[in-house]
Structure 1
Amino acid sequence: MPPITRIVERRFEIPDSVRRKIEQRIEKLDEFFDRIGHCVVTVVGPGAHHRKSRKSVHIAISVPKSRIVVNHGGDISLEIAVREAFGKADRQLEDYARRLRGDVKRAVGSGRKGLGRVRTK
């Protein structure tokens, strides 16, 4: 089931081609983890400050017992910012799914901290 999505634009209007790309990438998130509750993508346009042409993308993904948040900014091209942000979201979602399945090995320590005293002579 595709997640409930919301695309928010701040300080400028998202071009239709980029909006379609965002929608395609949201649908693709289902390949990594199929129990996504909702996904909010916020695209922030350039501000009135000295970095006028910078765009940023913020993604918030709701998953069972957790939330994945990705912030990516500083790109001049909106397409690059979207691609990089969704790349980060894909990796974080894959890692979350692995942890949920128990595929990630956890370090089992001896209870001691550090290596102790090391003698050089």
Structure 2
Amino acid sequence: MSKKNKTTVLLKPEEGRVDEALVARAFELRRDGLDYAGMAEELGVEPFEAQQLALVGFSRLAAEETEVLRAQTEARYDDVLRRLYSDLRVATSQNGRNSIYALILKTEAQRTKLLGLDLPPEALDA
């Protein structure tokens, strides 16, 4: 087994100094089940750096999936609201309209939480 030259990896993604190719490769290797020592040998880095590179890759994946899920959920809330407003236009009784109003308010409250726009209860008391 040949000894590869070890690469020093700067792990400060907030400063944009992570080698994107190494992050992608570390993510693939870890996803495929390789341990950190094996990843380190394959990547030419120390095991700790291999672990950190994989974590950067997985955290990015989680952030992307979170945004996709948030967008899908928001689209569902929009669809529910469209249907509720449509039902509201044809509601014939006050009880029916009141029920629809309650559902609209609950749906809007859920969307507000999803988007991070809800205020904590202590802020409402001020």
Same fold by TM (over 0.5)? no
Q: Which has the higher helix share?
A: 2
Q: Which has the higher contact order (CA 8 A, sep 6+)?
A: 1
TM-score normalised over the length of structure 1: 0.29
TM-score normalised over the length of structure 2: 0.28
